[in-house]
Each structure stands twice: as C-alpha cells, then as structure tokens.
Amino acid sequence: METTVTETSKLAQLWELTAFPDLTLQMVAMWVVIAVLFYLAVYKQYEPLLLIPIAFGALLANLPTEGLINLPHGIHGTSDFHPGGLYYYISLGVEFEIFPPLIFLGVGALTDFGPLIANPRMLLLGAAAQFGVFATFLGATTIGFTAQQAAAIGIIGGADGPTSIFLANKLAPELLAPIAVAAYSYMALVPMLQPPIMRALTTERERKIRMKSLRKVSRLEKLIFCGMVTIVVILLVPAAAALIGMLMLGNFLRESLVTERLVKAAQNELINVVTIFLGTSVGITMTGERFLDFATLKILALGVVAFGIATGCGVLMAKLMNVFSANKINPLIGSAGVSAVPMAARVSQVEGQRADPGNFLLMHAMGPNVAGVIGTAVVAGYFIASYG
C-alpha cells in the first residue's frame, strides 16, 4: 500500500512538472482559430508568407511556455536579474515601430511607380479607396469604440498590413492582434472579396474598355517623383514620415540603378527576416483572453465593411472620371486603389480578361495600386496627428 501511495505521489509530481495543468479552455479554443489560419495559408495559399508566422506565433501564445514571452525582472547586473523571454525582445520591433517601416523599405524596393507617373490621375483612384477607411472610422465610433480605436480599425480598409499594425500600435495597442489578423486575412481574400463588388458596380461594356498603352517613364522622372513625394507628404503629414520615408528610400535605391546589392538585400533578406519577426510578434499577442471576445467579432465585421467600401469607391470614382474624360478608364482598375500590392492589380487583370480575353489591365491597375499605398500611409499619418 505504501509503495502504491509513493508511486502515485511521484506521478503527481511528474504531472506538476509538465505544462498540462496550465492549459485553459481558451487556449484550446484558440487552437481552432489557429488551425483555420494554417488551413488558409497552407492549403488555400492565402498570403502564406504572412499568415503562417502569425498563426505560429498565436500557437506559441496559447501554450503554457517558459522563456518566450515573460517580462524581465530583478535588478540588472545582479544575480537576482532574470532576462525577458525571446519574444519580449523581438516584439519591441513592433512596440517601438521598427518593423512596419522596414517592411515599407522592402516594398519600395519592389515597387515600380512608373504606371502612376505615366498616368497621374490614378492618384484619384488611390484616394477614393480611402473613403472606406473614413466611413468605417465613423461607423466604429457609433458602436462603442473610441476615436483612437476606430481610426485603427478603419485603416483595415486600406488593405495594408504593415500600416494597420503601425497605426494600431500607436493608437490602440490592445486591439493589435484582431486588427492585424483582419488586415492580413482580408488582404489574402482579395481574389474572393473584390470581384462580386466589381461586377455589381460595372456593366459588361465598361469591363471591356481597353485603355491606351502607357508611355515610357524615364529614370530621372522616377527619382524626382521619389524626392517630391517624400518632401510633399512629410511637409503635409509629418506623422507619416517613417512609412513614406522608408517607402521612398527603398524605391530611390531601386531606381538609381547604382545600389544593386542594397536593393537585393531590401527585396529579399531584409523584408523576409522582418516579415517573420513581425508576423510572429503579432501572433504572440493573440492570447485567448484578448482574441475571444465580442469586440474581436465587431472588428472583423468592420474590416469587411471597410474593405468593401474602399473597393466600391475606387470603382465608382473611375466611372465618375469617365464622365469628364475622353480617354476612358476601365472602372475595374478602380478596385486596385486598395494597397494590397500587387494582388489587387492582378484581380483587376483577371476580371478584365474574363470580360475580354484580349484586354491587359495589369500595368494600368498598378497605378492606383501603388497610389493606394501612399494614400493609406498619408491617412495613417493624419490619424496619428489627430488622435495620437
């Protein structure tokens, strides 16, 4: 009998040494959410470079870990000091607003602003998409969110993950996880969400409009464009300096044609490493306590509204411009005013070829697409200046 009690006691001690006693129902419930994210990323291939790091970070957040997210404590330099966990330090890249601007550096190095420079009126389509941001901002304030929270939620309509994270961390860090997941999920779902809206707002004839070929843009024009956008935007909206500055730095490196090593580093190693750290840092905030509440469902719903309005306003703006222009615009490219580069432009191309297989809209759609990147960064700067 004594031996049995001893063995039971040892088993109890072994059980206590494991992390099983610290598991909660909220953690297990979050595993279902995480499984959905993995499914979308791996099997549906929806933004896997972003969703996999986010989902894996969320998995780590919903396990009883040690040495991963704990805070440092004790007096530094003494034997009582215990350093923070790995992601306490990595997540400082989000908290100190380092990762999103570095992503913009890589995006700038990957982006050709030539289509926008060749057809400057595409700026209007990028601006029109921002109506989704402001409409959702107003809607969020009417259902219980503060102005700061509403601004961070509304920016989801821009379909720009790094900007959403940047703004949420500034104005509503408590909502960072659901906002980031909503922004990246809807970016991934662009091919599903946009086409029904595009078809509903256009006629068959409009979808068949063929646009004139774009002129060739010189290297000097592109370099001047980088400098002028940097100067003008930062003078108008200083709070957008980190995002616009890094975006244009990356593009200036690209268009200068004399910094090939730096351009390749920004396009590959830098953006890839930062994407891993940014995604997992966002995922690590997705604990059950933060994510499984009614506010998260409202944010996800508002994100769809923001994205839908942004897409629709871009299409409608293109139709309005056609009223006053002899050089017609295919309204389908208006949907690319959201800054999901280049996926939104590809959707415009696919929808255009569905109506007319010989129509090529991709380069035309890249104009409003990159205009949307600039526009969303400017709007984020405005919100920071107004509510930060």
Computed from CA positions of residues 266, 179, 365, 377, in that sequence, does the dihedral angle turn out positive or negative? negative
pLDDT band at 296 (very low <50, low <70, confident <90, very high): confident
Say which residue, 188 or 346, is predicted with more confidence.
346
pLDDT interval class at 317 (50, 70, 90): very high
Chain centroid to CA 28: how far? Answer: 27
Q: Report whether 340 contacts 187 (CB < 8 A).
A: yes
Q: In one letter, which amino acid is 257?
A: L
pLDDT, tens only, 324-352: 988 899 999 999 988 777 888 999 999 99
Lowest mean pLDDT among 64-73, 164-173, 272-281: 64-73
Which one is predicted more confidently, 76 or 118? 118
Give 350-383 as a DSSP string: HHHHHH-TT---HHHHHHHHHHHHHHHHHHHHHH
Q: What is the pLDDT of residue 288?
A: 84
Is the pLDDT at 274 greater than 60? The verdict is yes
Per-residue pLDDT reduced to its tens digit, 126-176:
999 899 899 889 989 999 899 999 999 999 887 778 888 899 989 999 888
Q: For the whole model, what pTM was predicted?
A: 0.88
- For the chain, give the percent of residues with pLDDT over 90: 59
pLDDT at 3: 56
**What is the reported pLDDT for 156?**
85
Alpha-carbon distance of 330 to 320, in angstroms, equals: 11
What's the pLDDT at 220? 97
> Between 209 and 69, whose confidence is greater?
209
pLDDT of 312 reads: 93
Q: If we measure between CA atoms, which residue out of 267, 311, 237 comes closest to residue 105?
A: 267
pLDDT at site 330: 95
pLDDT at 50: 83
204 pLDDT tier (thresholds 50, 70, 90): very high
- Going by C-alpha positions, the residue among 242, 178, 285 that lies closest to residue 381 is 242
pLDDT at 384 (0 to 100): 93
Mean pLDDT value of segment 272-281:
93
pLDDT at residue number 374: 92
Give 82-127 pLDDT, tens digit per residue. 888 999 999 999 888 899 999 999 999 999 999 999 999 999 999 9
Average pLDDT score over residue span 265-289: 91
- State residue 202's pLDDT score: 95
- Compute the distance between CA of residue 246 and CA of residue 104 in angstroms, rounded to an integer: 6
Work out the percent of the chain whose per-residue pLDDT is above 70: 97
- Average confidence score pLDDT of the chain: 89
What is the pLDDT averaged over residues 31-35? Answer: 93
Please list, residue by residue across 162-176, b when 16 or more beta carbons sit within 10 angstroms of its beta carbon and e when fewer do.
Answer: bbbbbbbbbbbeebb
Does residue 82 sit in helix, strand or coil?
strand
pLDDT at position 185, please?
Answer: 73
